[in-house]
Chains A and B, each alone.
Chain A
Amino acid sequence: MKTCLVVDDSGVIRKVARRILEQMSFDCSEAENGLIALDACKVSMPDAVLLDWNMPVMTGIDFLKSLRAMPGGDKPKVVLCTTNNDMKHIVEALGAGADEYIMKPFDHDIVQAKFAQIGLV
């Protein structure tokens, strides 16, 4: 079973995302900011990370940069999932090593399609 780390400061979003990902047969864990997510990755690298951008303590983009610099941190597929719905942010995320980008609001079809595109399902 593939693993996915859901990183978002909103408990509601984490719950919704988790339900969608579990339907797609992912084994999910959660983190409420980038720093907690980074600690989780040090313990065990997930196959995928669904990543919010704007979070307290450590943002998604800072997490992504730190992750990609870690040993083995190039492995997880990272999908941004954010209300930063403009070209400038998308380009910045891709530059920092994001594999895909979901603009909120999202639904099951979008998550499924984006994960399929990067070979996760």
Chain B
Amino acid sequence: MRPADFELLSTLLKLNSGLVLTPDKAYLLESRLMPVARKHQIATMEALADKVRSHPNDVLLRDITEAMTTNESSFFRDTKPFEQLKDVLLPRMLAARAARRQLRIWCAAASSGQEPYSISIILKEAAAQLAGWRIEIVGTDLSNPILERAKEGLYTQFEVQRGLPIQLLVKYFKQDGDKWRISDEIRRMVTYKRLNLLLPFSELGQFDIVFCRNVLIYFDQPTKAKVLEAIARQMPNDGVLLLGGAETVLGVTDRFRPIEGQRGLYELSTAPALQKAV
């Protein structure tokens, strides 16, 4: 790949999605963008770059951005955050929201739906405690095609075997040919919206719990700070943020602080000291 083309495409990605691509990942551009080039009847990477330079159009630019954003996901990915949701966050919110009986959860990188549906399943399993509550789960992602997959809720045999206990497969999925379809009761719990985290998102409203896992790793330091600060503005004072295993707020922003003894969980630095005792 011509260095100038790498420069162009990585700058475009940075601007549109915040994704930072280092030169050692140039091979990723080639392997992921060739299908995009073919779709647009462009023969080579060089021609694709030239097209972006000379006649860029919104569809092409969006296709490039979507092809480059990774969509690695699995049910109950990493296990621990979902145990924390069940054992730490739910009891905490049940107490804190006892009067309002309302809970809003946001998955900021919903991908093909495994994370929001894992959250839905946890809440469904706790249905007895949540009777009469208004629960909202909002899943957002940068990519439209991946959100369409999420909405459909249809997974391969391989996908339902990564992280999903067999009892939950039996309980919440139906076989559909050689695939598995999530039940309507779980699917209906999630609302999906396309969202670019780099653009304003205050219209989403306030969220008590925010899953923003394995998103920040793709951003540079100033973008991480910008996104975290924007998320902080969408959270009540006792809200909780969950980040991925390789992510932290430390050294990025002082709007959040880690919750003691709960790896991956963060609260607003303005949260009352009492909230620290989870």
Contacts and interface: CB of A to CB of B under 8 A. Distances in A.
Interface of A: 85-87, 90-91, 94, 98, 100-103, 106, 109-110, 113-114, 116-117
Contacts of A106: 161
B163 A103 contact: no
A120 to B, nearest CB: 13
B170 A87 contact: yes
Given A87-B170, A94-B167, A110-B161, 5 more contacts: A85-B157, A87-B175, A103-B157, A114-B166, A116-B79
Interface in B29-58: none
Contacts of A114: 161, 166
A103 B170 CA distance: 13
Nearest to A106: B161
B165 interface: yes
Contacts of A102: 161
A103 B166 CA distance: 10
Contacts of B165: 100, 117
Given A86-B175, A87-B175, A116-B79, A110 B170 contact: no
Given A86-B175, A87-B175, A113 B161 contact: yes
B166 A110 contact: no
B162 interface: yes
Contacts, number: 32
Nearest to B74: A113
B157 A90 contact: no
Contacts of A113: 161-163
B169 interface: yes
B83 to A, nearest CB: 12
Interface size band for B = 10 to 19
Interface in B128-175: 157-158, 161-163, 165-167, 169-170, 174-175
Lowest 6 CB-CB distances: which A-B pairs, in order? A101-B166, A110-B161, A87-B175, A117-B165, A100-B166, A103-B157
Contacts of B175: 86-87
A86 B167 CA distance: 14
Contacts of B157: 85, 103
Contacts of A101: 166
A100 B163 CA distance: 12
A114 B175 CA distance: 20
A63 to B, nearest CB: 18
A110 B169 contact: no
Given A86-B175, A87-B175, A116-B79, A94 B161 contact: no
20 contacts: A85-B157, A86-B175, A87-B170, A87-B174, A87-B175, A90-B166, A91-B170, A94-B166, A94-B167, A94-B170, A100-B165, A100-B166, A101-B166, A103-B157, A103-B161, A106-B161, A110-B161, A113-B161, A113-B163, A114-B166
